[in-house]
Every structure is written in structure tokens, then in C-alpha cells.
Amino acid sequence: MLLFVLTQSAPPIMVLVLAVTLYLVVMDLRQEEDLDYTPKVWWFLFVVLTHVPGYLLFRVWIAMRRHRRKEAAHAASPGPRGRRGDGPA
């Protein structure tokens, strides 16, 4: 979008790609129910301003966020304790 503003023109295919990326951002953000409203708006506006590079950064962020959430949901269980372990046999 910044490039469009600076050059005063936007090829139709780029406008279509921007619309698709914004749609995908909205769909991904709707799935993040525990995320506040402000970060959702921030990511939407970031993708509006930076277009495809911003969308790629958003995808990396959302993947890391989901991975961390999945790791937190799977609490590590203590391993078996035997004769050489720290606990009683």
C-alpha cells in the first residue's frame, strides 16, 4: 500500500492480492479468541500498509503464537524414576 501511495498507481492484480491477504488476516484473527482487539487491528493495519511482506510477518507471528500455545497446553510429565533416579524406587 505504501508503494501504491508513493507511485500514485495500483495495478489491478496488486489490489486483488491486497484484498485476498486482508481476507486471510481477518480469517486468522477471528480464530484467535484470546487475543485483544488492539493487536488484531494493529496486524490488520500493518498488512494494509506493508502488503505481502507484512502478511508474511503476520503468518510467522501467528505460527509462533499457536506453537507456543500448543506447547503450554501439553504440560511435561515427570519421567520414570528408577533406582538411579532422584526419587524413591
Statement: the pTM of the whole predicted model exceeds 0.75: no
Q: Which of 38, 1, 39, 43 is nearest to 19 (CA)?
A: 1
Better pLDDT: 60 or 89: 60
Tens-digit pLDDT profile for residues 13-39:
888 988 999 999 999 999 999 999 999
The pLDDT, as a whole number, for residue 41 is 96
Task: Enter the C-alpha cell of residue 58.
Answer: 503476520
The pLDDT, as a whole number, for residue 9 is 84
Distance separating the N- and C-terminal Cα atoms of the chain? 65
Q: Are 14 and 4 in contact (CB under 8 A)?
A: yes
The pLDDT, as a whole number, for residue 63 is 94
Mean pLDDT, all residues of the chain: 85
| Domain map (residue ranges) of the chain | 2-73
Q: Are 25 and 44 in contact (CB under 8 A)?
A: yes
